[in-house]
Amino acid sequence: MSGDAWKEGGIDATGALMVLTLKVISCAINYSDGLLKEEGLRDAQKKYRLAKLPSLVEYFGYCLCCGSHFAGPVYEMKDYLDWTERKGIWAGSTPSPLLPTLRALVQAGICMSLYLYLSPRFPLSRFSEPLYYEWGFWHRLFFQYMSGFTARWKYYFIWSVSEASVIISGLGFTGWSDSSPPKAKWERAINVDILGVELAGSAVQLPLKWNIQVSTWLRYYVYERLIQKGKKPGFLQLLGTQTVSAIWHGLYPGYMIFFVQSALMINGSRVIYRWQQAVSNSVLHTILTLLNFAYTMMVLNYSCIGFQVLSFQETLASYKSVYYVGTIVPILCVLLGYVIKPARPVKPKARKAE
């Protein structure tokens, strides 16, 4: 329950404890998967299962590895063991990490500069001031957008620093690209795609661009394990995953509201995306593409107010100030998805054998 410290710009041990929680859980589940037969396991389970119990030194080394201990990124025990023992992709010569590390550090400097410039101009305290409620609807909605935009640069900064530390250790190396000549990839260290978040064309893309390694963890250890065998995933699996994420962040109403909102946001965006894919008219397709982008930016920055202010009263007051537009629009999109169903593409008939 340290959200108040984070809300005011403070930093404490809970960031490290959040990362540690994910590592402990994934390590335990991977060892549990290692006791099962491979038949019936998903690809991720087969890839990361542990055939034997790690030693205490290996376990504590993985949990407390200094490069990622404070803010992530989260990675798998199997990758950590291969890195320390120089196995797998680390068995041969590995590329120099200096240039990718420098790039991450420059990115961190830019992110912190932007945050320090913007945060005094769009303070969170404004949501509880009478001035905010004197503004018109569009002014309040713009402030919500800028508030969310400003807050994200703080996270971009710390993840860029963590990315630099994981890259320079060598652990961030994930192999070589298929291009000619091949280029080194450092994807294990990347926790955010800044342009991917800020220019996301659909809310569905956000988990793939923001806190990437935690999103991957949630997919492997929560979302996929909530899907019953032989059935397709739906809204309940998404809602369950987002609820786990909310509890992991902390027992504040603002977190719970934000993650329930984000499940709604993603579902609504999926509906618009299905409409996009169904239309053949290029003008209409462009309009729907722009609509999905505007929808994503509006609902994301509306929703993330709860993540920032945390309290139930402040969250509802800020939502009410813009007439709950970021809640109503996703619900309308989902309901319209049941009414306006895009036609399925016609499958070509199989040719009869001559």
Cβ atoms 189, 65 nearer than 8 A: no
Cβ atoms 143, 118 nearer than 8 A: no
Please give the structure tokens belonging to residue 303.
């929703």
Which residues are tagged catalytic? 249
Cβ atoms 104, 167 nearer than 8 A: yes
Cβ atoms 204, 270 nearer than 8 A: yes
Cβ atoms 78, 30 nearer than 8 A: yes
State the alpha helices, DSSP H only, in the chain: 3-7, 14-34, 43-48, 56-63, 77-84, 98-118, 130-134, 137-169, 194-198, 206-209, 212-218, 224-226, 235-249, 253-278, 282-309, 312-321, 325-339
